[in-house]
Amino acid sequence: MLKVIMDTNIYGKLIEEKKFSEIATKIKNDTDFKVYGFGLIRKELRDTPKTSKLGKFSRRNLLLNLYDGITGGKYLKDSLKIHNLAMKCYNSYRKFGGIINWDKTNIDVDFTIVACAMFYKLDILVSDDSKTMLSKQALKSFKHISIKEALRQPAFWKYSDLKTRYNF
């Protein structure tokens, strides 16, 4: 069984799909692909403006219902250890030439999600965030810290990999 976490941007892409409820059902019912929730991701989804619409529906409600449905109550707890690990990754990122400040463009959230995946030994992290989470310097820092801390780094999938797995 693969243990998976999906970045916030993936939920936004999923609700744009024409048959997103069918896709969500496929993901939820896949016994070999278990998606876990994490408080920071749900918070980002909850921060979607209440007035934002997708057709006649509230984008915020669609995102939260999709998230809750796919994760099915499987949540990973946040901790100081995860935040410390995220900061180690960030410090390494800066040493490798990363230029984004910790509190800009949600890089703090991105690095905390990766740290959570490493801490809980997740197999896959799905994201399309190429500017921060999947940048060359970030990926190099994640690998460096995972080796230094004797933790397993998750495999990074893009949205296209998810689409391939579920044929949509």
Q: How is residue 150 written in tokens?
A: 């004797």
Q: Give the model's pLDDT for residue 131.
A: 92
Q: Give the model's pLDDT for residue 3.
A: 98
Q: How many CA atoms lie within 13 A of 145 on its CB side?
A: 28
Q: Give the model's pLDDT for residue 103.
A: 85
* pTM score, whole prediction: 0.96
Q: Give the model's pLDDT for residue 28.
A: 96
Q: Give the model's pLDDT for residue 105.
A: 84
Interval 48-85: pLDDT, tens: 999 999 999 999 999 999 999 999 999 999 999 999 99
Please answer whether residues 79 and 120 qualify as being in contact, where contact means their C-beta atoms are separated by less than 8 angstroms.
Answer: no
In the chain, the domains with their CATH numbers are: 2-166 (3.40.50.1010)
The rounded radius of gyration (Å) of the Cα atoms in the chain is: 16
How far is C-alpha 73 from the chain's CA centre?
16
Interval 13-23: pLDDT, tens: 999 999 999 99
Please answer whether residues 158 and 18 qualify as being in contact, where contact means their C-beta atoms are separated by less than 8 angstroms.
Answer: no
Where the chain has pLDDT below 70, the residues are: none
